[in-house]
């Protein structure tokens, strides 16, 4: 009897093929020259700076190694929470804006700056369809490793959103969800008429956690992001999205783990809060979008 031959591509090969097809998007993070794919295993510029693809298919394009406070367990926790429907209404809002803006664009190129473990970008990619090219970058290697293992078909790269290894005017849209912004970089990367969509926390975001860990103290926010948008982008649209999410019992521990809000809490306090339980949690976020001039 003939043995069937499995034709499944490895994650690394799948990624290499997507990167190769879109190689014109990349630029060397060291010298800014264009890049080429070599042997389906590394990106190389003409000055011989070389960046290997990891086994899971991502490429590290951050010239200096960075360590961040975001570790593997945090991204596992974030993944469990984000896959529970917790972010559903926000994703719907984002996807509606993208659909409206990209309706006429045949193979849109979209980048998620500070994508974490990649669940939001995966949701967007499956809505936009396989013709779209999606790129997720984050400085936390653990986040990008998790993303590349879970979601092949997207370009995943460890990179700094303040100096992104991609060509000028190459993106149809950029997402920036609960992550720091760099408007100069967003402007450089967006095509004229490209869309920036940013999500920032509002005062009620995760208030039940703040109440038990912080006596309700507010998080420090970025100075008025809507004003920043209005200074630099056209057709600015902003909407506050607020809802209460019924929290399954199993999600309380990952919810506590995933957010910087609770990083300074003692283990004892975490145990107390877990014992008390939490029936629901408030999501209160603002979605802002604007078009590059
Ligand atoms: C609160 S998490 C949000 C992650 C994801 N967007 C989400 O909503 O689940 C903030 C993320 O920003 C990333 N980050 C912070 N500074 C960055 C930088 N300079 N370049 C790239 N990513 C950065 C962190 O590593 C982290 O993954
Ligand atoms: Zn180079």
114: CA distance to ligand 1 center in Å?
4
Residue 6 has pLDDT above 80, yes or no: no
Span 100-109, mean pLDDT?
Answer: 95
Q: Which ligand is nearest to the CA of 50?
A: 2
pLDDT: is 18 or 5 the higher one? 18
Residue 2 has pLDDT above 60, yes or no: no
The full set of domains in the chain, from first to last, is 11-292 (3.40.50.150)
Distance (Å, whole) CA 250 – CA 257: 12
Q: Which ligand is nearest to the CA of 177?
A: 1
178: CA distance to ligand 1 center in Å?
7
The pair of three-digit structure tokens given for residue 39, joined into one six-digit string: 């042997």
Q: What are 231-247's pLDDT values in tens digits? A: 999 999 999 999 999 99
Give, using CA atoms, the residue closest to atom 1 of ligand 1.
Answer: 178
Q: Which ligand is nearest to the CA of 26?
A: 2
Residues with CB under 6 A from ligand 1: 68, 70, 78, 82, 114-116, 120, 138-140, 143, 160-162, 177-180
Q: Which of 140-144, 259-263, 276-280 has the lowest mean pLDDT?
A: 259-263
Give, using CA atoms, the residue closest to atom 26 of ligand 1.
Answer: 116
Over the chain, what HEC string results? Answer: CCCCCCCCCCHHHHHHHHHHHCHHHEECCCCCCEEEEECCCEEEECCCCEEEECCCCCEECCCCCCCCCCCHHHHHHHHHHHCCCCCHHHHHHHHHHHHHHHCCCCCCEEEEECCCCCHHHHHHHHHHCCCCEEEEEECCHHHHHHHHHHCCCCEEEECCCCCCCECCCCEEEEEEECCCCCHHHHHHHEEEEEEEEEEEECCCCCHHHHHHHHCCCCCCCCCCHHHHHHHHEEEEEEEEEEEEEECCHHHHHHHHHHCHHHCCCCHHHHHHHHHHCCCEEEEEEEEEEEEEC
Contact 28, 18 (CB under 8 A): no
Residue 66 has pLDDT above 90, yes or no: no
Distance (Å, whole) CA 191 – CA 109: 10
Atom of ligand 1 nearest to the CA of 199: 8
Q: What is the pLDDT of residue 138?
A: 97
Contact 160, 142 (CB under 8 A): no
138: CA distance to ligand 1 center in Å?
6
User: Mean pLDDT in the chain?
Assistant: 93
Model confidence band, residue 5 (pLDDT cutoffs 50, 70, 90): low
pLDDT: is 68 or 141 the higher one? 141
25: CA distance to ligand 2 center in Å?
14
264: CA distance to ligand 1 center in Å?
19
Atom of ligand 1 nearest to the CA of 260: 1
Q: How far is CA 229 from CA 109, 232, 234, 259, in A?
A: 21, 5, 8, 26
109: CA distance to ligand 1 center in Å?
20
The pair of three-digit structure tokens given for residue 130, joined into one six-digit string: 């396989």
Q: Which ligand is nearest to the CA of 141?
A: 1
Q: What is the pLDDT of residue 44?
A: 98
């Amino acid at each position: 009897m003939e043995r069937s031959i499995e034709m499944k591509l490895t994650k690394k090969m799948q990624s290499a093929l997507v990167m190769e097809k879109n190689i014109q998007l990349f630029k060397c993070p060291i010298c800014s020259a264009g890049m080429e794919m070599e042997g389906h295993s590394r990106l190389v510029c003409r000055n011989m700076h070389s960046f290997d693809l990891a086994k899971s298919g991502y490429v590290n394009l951050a010239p200096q190694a960075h360590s961040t406070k975001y570790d593997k367990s945090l991204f596992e926790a974030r993944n469990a929470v984000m896959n529970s429907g917790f972010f559903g209404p926000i994703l719907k809002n984002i996807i509606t804006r993208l659909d409206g803006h990209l309706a006429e664009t045949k193979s849109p190129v979209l980048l998620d700056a500070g994508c974490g473990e990649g669940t939001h970008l995966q949701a967007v990619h499956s809505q936009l369809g396989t013709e779209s090219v999606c790129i997720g970058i984050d400085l936390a290697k653990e986040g990008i490793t998790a993303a590349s293992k879970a979601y092949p078909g997207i370009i995943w790269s460890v990179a700094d959103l303040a100096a992104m290894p991609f060509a000028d005017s190459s993106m149809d849209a950029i997402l920036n969800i609960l992550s720091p912004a760099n408007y100069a970089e967003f402007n450089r990367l967006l095509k004229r008429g490209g869309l920036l969509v940013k999500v920032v926390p509002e005062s009620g975001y995760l208030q039940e956690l703040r109440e038990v860990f912080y006596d309700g103290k507010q998080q420090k926010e970025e100075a008025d992001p809507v004003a920043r948008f209005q200074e630099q982008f056209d057709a600015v649209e902003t909407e506050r999205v607020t809802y209460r999410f019924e929290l399954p019992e199993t999600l309380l521990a990952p919810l506590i783990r995933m957010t910087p809000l609770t990083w300074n809490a003692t283990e004892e306090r975490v145990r107390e809060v877990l014992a008390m339980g939490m029936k629901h949690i408030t999501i209160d976020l603002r979605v802002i979008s604007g078009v590059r001039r």
